[in-house]
Structure 1
Amino acid sequence: MSTDNPYQTPAGGAAPQNPQLEKEIKSQAVTSLIVGIVSLVCCGIILAPFAIYRGNKAKSLIDQSGIGQQHRGIAMAGFIIGIVSLVLNVIGLIFYAIAIAAGAAGNV
């Protein structure tokens, strides 16, 4: 086992028991899901990238360590909801800018 990656699984394939790492993975995954859901309702431009980042970080930790596989679904859900929220908010901003431009052009 390489000492460069503290999350790497041993050659035998059994994941090391590390409750602190599993707690961090669960925290990242749940935070991603909660922030992703909140970003659909308000502050999506700000919160959606945070949900994407947290979900991706949780997935990376799971992949590197092999620990916390049961939290992968939550991390994926937060990641995907964050992407959906970001796309919807960007589309909303584009429509808002078009509406403002059309309104300004109509008043001239």
Structure 2
Amino acid sequence: MEKKKFCQNVRNPRVLSPAEREFYGWVDAEDFTQSSVITARHLPELRREIRLTQDLASERDYMLEAAGPSDRLSFRAAEDRTHFLWVYVELFTRLGVRLPFTEF
């Protein structure tokens, strides 16, 4: 995948509810004005080029999804949703982190 900018400023950032503002109070307000430029069409290429796991046999155990236009890195899954983790591509490409995070 060619080297590119993975985030962009959004004109109309998602407005957080009062409960979300309280929960995400630790997040810098500027972070809510950034949106991922990675879309579903990028995912096949990312899956080919980026190893997510420590061993290749475990790769199929993880699903890779693009963040939606209003999703932010700090967001968590709702209580009734499948757990997920938003990460920057650089976590895998530059820092070499692999799943699962067994060291934690």
TM score, norm. by length of structure 1: 0.23
TM score, norm. by length of structure 2: 0.24
The structure in which a higher percent of residues are strand is 2
The structure in which a higher percent of residues are helix is 1
